[in-house]
Amino acid sequence: MTENFSPQRWANTLTQLLNSVHGAAAERFPVQVPELAKEYSRQRFPDDPVSLVAGDSLPTFDGALYKAPPGKKGWGIIYNNAIASPGRINFTIAHEFGHYLLHRLRYPDGIECGQQDITRWDSEYRQIEIQANEFAAGLLMPLDDFRRQIDGRAKPTLIDIGACAERYGVSLIAAALRWLQYTERRSVLVVSRDGFVLWARSSSAALRSHAFFKTAGRPPIPVPASSLAAQPELLEKSRGELSHDGGVWFSEPCEEIVLASDQYDFTVSLVHLETVIRVNRSDEPEEDKDAFDFMTRHLRGAS
């Protein structure tokens, strides 16, 4: 049964197919997901293909997988045509294609991807959303190709990550989250608005050294007053870099790279810490374990 395939196995299967067809040709990326979804499903599942990929008015969610109406065959992938970012649209279509491959047999009436049921980590809805995200990230941004663009030991700027986002046809944040999944560096991505941290993600190396922010279920965390994110007047064309001594983002020195987005009204900070890991010995082990588990769960599902 195809639902026994993991998200990564499906992504790898399609990546190998695309590699065999395109090789290193310029058209290999970004993945043309609408064409891939329709053509692959027509060949692999001729009696149950993806027959439609289109935008429509979806006021309460970003995307959906719908069964074709009675008398017609197949499935429709629908994305919210109010989404302004082409990268978000591309990821949404790939996400729904993941639902088609992974979940359509369990959900014969289709799936609408909104905000329902995501407050509980162990909810079924949350789990299938994570799986669809894992598939979409693996399909659109294969790690072997991403590593060729940015080495795992490199210290990229947001311009470097933005070049990958353009290559893969995804948003800057999606590309940054994918990079955080394989980098060997201690780095933290922080998204803020109106002087407060909205959310943050840490690389595995940063998590191991206790460099993270807990944001879920906590009072808002103010952006440090000395950070570049808190001083937009220092930015040039909405971008900037600044080195900090200890006591700004964390207790140790760091380098902050900032991009302020007027379109989406938030600020993205990529915080690079020193290579040497410095563990705060005063932290309580049990709290550290909880934080590591929490951030790892969300890192898996946030691409």
| 151 lies in the same domain as 292 | yes
Give yes or no for residue 119 having a pLDDT over 80.
no
Q: Assign 243 to helix, strand or coil.
A: strand
To which H or E segment does residue 191 belong? strand 187-193
Alpha-carbon gap, residue 61 to 83, rounded angstroms: 10
89 & 19 share domain:
yes
Distance CA 237, CA 188 (A): 23
Quick: pLDDT tens for 10-61.
999 999 999 999 876 778 999 999 999 999 999 999 999 999 999 999 888 8
Shared domain check, 169 and 135:
no
Residue 64: φ, ψ to 5°: -155, 155
Rounded Cα distance, 135 and 186, in Å: 25
Are 134 and 216 within one domain? no
pLDDT confidence band for 146 (50 / 70 / 90): very high
Q: Is the pLDDT of residue 121 over 50?
A: no
**Is the model's pLDDT at 280 over the cut of 60?**
no
Both 85 and 215 in one domain: the answer is no
Is residue 35 domain-shared with residue 119, that is, in the same domain? yes
* Percentage, residues of the chain above pLDDT 90: 76
How many structural domains comprise the chain?
Answer: 2
**Does residue 220 share a domain with residue 84?**
no
Query: Which of 116, 140, 164 is a domain's end point?
Result: 140
What's the confidence (pLDDT) of residue 47? 95
Cβ atoms 141, 163 nearer than 8 A: no
Q: Which of 140, 170, 191 is the endpoint of a domain?
A: 140
In a shared domain, residues 114 and 241:
no
Residue 10 structural domain: 2-140
Question: Average pLDDT of the chain?
Answer: 88
Question: What pLDDT score was predicted for residue 3?
Answer: 56
What DSSP state is assigned to residue 287?
H
Contacts of residue 101, Cβ cutoff 8 Å, sequence gap at least 6? 2, 5, 10, 135
Q: What is the pLDDT of residues 168-195, one digit of tens each?
A: 999 999 999 999 999 999 999 999 999 9
Co-location of 42 and 151 in the same domain: no
pLDDT (0 to 100) of residue 25: 73
Neighbours of 133 (CB within 10 A): 22
- What's the pLDDT score for residue 124? 83
Residue of 266, 296, 298, 263 whose CA lies nearest to 84: 263
Same domain, 129 and 253: no
Higher pLDDT pick, 7 / 70:
7
pLDDT over 50 at 284, yes or no: no
- Mean per-residue pLDDT, 137-158: 97
Last residue of a domain, one of 115, 140, 165: 140
Q: 289: pLDDT confidence band, cut at 50, 70 and 90?
A: very low
Do residue 97 and residue 226 come from a single domain?
no
Q: What are 220-266's pLDDT values in tens digits? A: 999 999 999 999 999 999 999 999 999 999 999 999 999 998 777 89
Indicate if 130 and 176 belong to the same structural domain. no
Domain with residue 120: its CATH number is 1.10.10
